[in-house]
A and B are shown apart, each in its own frame.
Chain A
Amino acid sequence: MQGGFVLRNMREKESGVDVKKVSRRNALSTAGKVAISAILAGVIAGLGGYYAGTSAAPTVTETKTVEKTVTKTVGATATVKETVTKTLTETLTAAAAGEFAKGLRFTFVTHGGEENVFWNTVHLGMKEAADVLGCDAVMIRPKVEGDLGMIMSNFEAAIAEKPDGIICTVCYEAELEMIKKATEAGIPVIVSNIDAPDPEKRKEAGGLAFIGQNLEPAGYFLAKTLSKYYPRGSHVAILIEGPGMVWAEQRAHGIIRFLEEYDCTYDRIDVSFNLAEVESRLSAYLEAHPPVEETKAIMSVGYTAPVAGKVLKAMGIGPGEVAIGTFDIVPLVIDGIKSGYVQVALDQQPYLQGFLPIVQLTLMKKYALGAWDVDTGHAVVDQSNVDIVAELSKKGYR
């Protein structure tokens, strides 16, 4: 490669490149402008977050004792609704602020994503407990539901903040390590909503109690409660919305345990929460195992059993002829009960899963009391109370 070319006869001094003289003022003003906007950004971020956090400060209102009367007449549903709504609004505004747990701070680390509506109810329970008791409680939800990496970093930050107590779900066994770390740092931990597959391991790691639905007994309880509506020795279909997942398998196990005691035969139908899929699979199944003659009951470990109502209706079968039982309260379930197709729904009471841990942690901190396990999973919703529950569900309490 040849080097530079000597072209001496052409050397004319170019006027050169324009040089913009940099004045000290210019450079400083640029740096200043950026620095100021950067600091503004940081300050806005910080202050906004701070005020958002402290806006959870309890407001002082009067305590009112309110009686709730519910008339159980099935026929007079109109009047029942009226009374219920009136007394409900009074109850809701009476969430008083207290001083009982003043100064205490609790953090709830959950796996539930920010769009997961179920967790809004848990959050509400937590918030109202905090308001009533006068402490500060915050719930940290991962951006992506169930992302272990995010959950773990949230957990680490929560521990570093050294709250007075931590509530968490054990969605993955890896979280037991975090519970251990929190306990070793002197922070009491209560597990809510999902327990470790082996409760002994959870206790070893330092999880003092479990507040939530005991899945297997819940399955048993559902099948048993529903058994008023189907005879011994029946054939039963069980919808499994999450085959292989712990929560689904445990509930199914409970259901099956009862069915075997009740001399029933059963089939598992693996589905998902995709309602269209449930509908098509169930239809196909019922073609092969005709309802009433053969299939006398349908249950689901999730909340999709009410879809059976739609399928049965299309087959010309009326409500009540086949027993349907399900878990969890969603609008689908409420409609199912109201229409008469669904007899029993078992609510795991997410509100309690947020409310009770705060109460327990407060008592632990104030009076050195111990924590205790709570099975929140035995609330039956049926024709008798569906209207109240429907109203509360709309407001996010059930």
Chain B
Amino acid sequence: MPAPLVEMINIHKWFGSIHALKGVDFRVDNGEIVGLVGDNGAGKSTLIKILSGLYPPDEGKILFEGREVRFRSPKDAIKLGIETVHQDQMVVPYLNVYRNIFLGRELEKKLGPIKVLDIKRMKKEVQYLFHDLGLEVASLDAPVQALSGGQRQAVVIARAMYFKTKLLILDEPTNNLSIREAKRVLDMILALKKAGISCIFITHNLHHVYPIADRIVVLNRGVKVADFKKGEATIDEIERLIVSA
């Protein structure tokens, strides 16, 4: 059996005196969609923030493609091919769409001895991207704060889609979206899986994730209480596990 794409082993995390994650093991295989569910405060966001490089784990280790890795900053995770759509949309409100999408990985061209931003190419790439994703934003130069919540979410997902190579982490991606927009996100995720890209999908909404997930992992107050393969449990059973004391 090939090594799983990601393996998080015995992860502990404290925030002050709060023990947010209590020895969680978490695994994602290649080409797999994993739904990470649990009630508020269960530790889902914390777990994936550790995986995306925002916090270090206090205990435990992370293996990526079989090798142990230590992320000093999100840059390290990004370099490995892990893209994250955070719950609090990590966009800079005053910057426009393409500056946000390419933030930290700006496309450049040479101007004599120096490298300058290749704005034309960035705009073009974004136009293609949006076109393919069926998004339409009237002005790429407007600051993203001018977009609606749903459009901003779409931009953020589009960003992850553009860069993802191996693993896409989505923290509550369907929250601000209309039903139609949400369906499209789910379709996008399925298409990514077909292209061999794994996905971790965190949500409150079991009905969104249940149909497309290969596995569902349930966290309850920092502890992993279940790890079901598709079909092994019903939505009701999972819900009961989420809310159990």
Contacts and interface: CB of A to CB of B under 8 A. Distances in A.
A–B proximity contact (CB within 8 A): yes
Interface of A: 1-14, 16-19
B134 A10 contact: yes
Interface in B103-130: 105, 125, 128-129
24 contacts: A1-B105, A1-B162, A1-B163, A2-B163, A2-B165, A3-B125, A3-B128, A3-B162, A4-B125, A5-B162, A5-B191, A5-B195, A7-B133, A7-B187, A7-B191, A10-B187, A10-B191, A13-B134, A16-B138, A17-B138, A17-B147, A17-B151, A18-B148, A19-B138
A11 B128 CA distance: 12
A1 B163 CA distance: 6
Contact of A4 (B128, B134, B187): B128
Contacts of B133: 5, 7, 10
A1 B195 CA distance: 15
Nearest to A1: B163
Contacts of A2: 162-165
B151 A4 contact: no
A18 to B, nearest CB: 8
A4 B132 CA distance: 7
Q: Report the interface size class on chain B.
A: 20 to 34
A219 B105 CA distance: 73
B129 A5 contact: yes
Contacts of B237: none
B151 A5 contact: no
A31 to B, nearest CB: 19
Given A4-B132, A12-B184, 5 more contacts: A4-B128, A4-B129, A6-B132, A9-B191, A17-B138
A10 B136 contact: no
Contacts of B161: 5
Interface string B157-194: 00001111100000000000000100010011001100
A8 B132 contact: yes
Interface of B: 105, 125, 128-129, 131-139, 147-148, 151, 161-165, 180, 184, 187-188, 191-192, 195
Nearest to A8: B132
Nearest to B127: A4
A83 to B, nearest CB: 73
Given A4-B125, A16-B138, A11 B163 contact: no
Contact of A11 (B105, B132, B137): B132
Nearest to A6: B132
A16 to B, nearest CB: 4
B167 to A, nearest CB: 14
A46 to B, nearest CB: 35
Contact of A7 (B132, B151, B163, B165): B132
A311 to B, nearest CB: 58
B184 A10 contact: yes
A10 B163 CA distance: 19
Contacts of B180: 12
A329 to B, nearest CB: 59
A16 B134 CA distance: 10
A398 to B, nearest CB: 60
Nearest to B181: A14
Contact of A17 (B134, B137, B187): B137
B129 A11 contact: no
Contacts of B136: 13-14, 16-17
Contact of A5 (B132, B138, B147): B132
Contacts of B163: 1-2
Contacts of A12: 134, 180, 184
A5 B125 CA distance: 10
Given A1-B105, A12-B134, A7 B162 contact: no
A18 B136 CA distance: 10
Contacts of B135: 14
B193 to A, nearest CB: 12
Contacts of A4: 125, 128-129, 131-132, 162
Contacts of B191: 5, 7, 9-10
Contacts of A11: 131-132, 134
A180 B105 CA distance: 59
Contacts of B148: 17-18
Contact of B188 (A7, A14, A16, A19): A7
Contacts of B128: 3-4
A18 B137 CA distance: 9
Contacts of A17: 136-139, 147-148, 151
A19 B146 CA distance: 11
A275 to B, nearest CB: 52
Contacts of B131: 4, 11
Among A3, A8, A10, the most chain B Cβ lie within 10 Å of the Cβ of A10
Nearest to B161: A5
B165 A10 contact: no
A98 to B, nearest CB: 62
Contacts of B125: 3-4
A190 to B, nearest CB: 56
